[in-house]
Amino acid sequence: MKEVKYNVAIIEDLKDIALSLQSFFNSEDDMQCNNVYHNVEDAILFIPQ
């Protein structure tokens, strides 16, 4: 059976919190976070609609 990985994007303006969340998600077997945005304006440009 194929392992499912959920892709997570974080939008958080506080850098330390954003990086902590990214680390937490990446430590989970079924999650991965490659995208961290520090404001909504940037996230809108890169998150698929």
pLDDT in the model for residue 49? 66
Q: Among candidates 26, 35, 30, which has minimal Cα distance to 5?
A: 30
Q: 42 vs 6, 13, 24, CA distance in Å?
A: 21, 11, 22
Give how many domains the chain has, as a whole number: 1
Alpha helices in 1-49 (DSSP H): 15-27, 40-46
Residue 42 maps to a domain = yes
Residue 29 maps to a domain = yes
Residue 32 maps to a domain = yes
Helix, coil or strand: residue 22: helix
- Tell me the residue range of the domain where 40 lies: 6-46
Q: Report pLDDT digits (tens) over 1-49.
A: 678 899 999 999 999 999 999 999 999 999 999 999 999 999 998 877 6
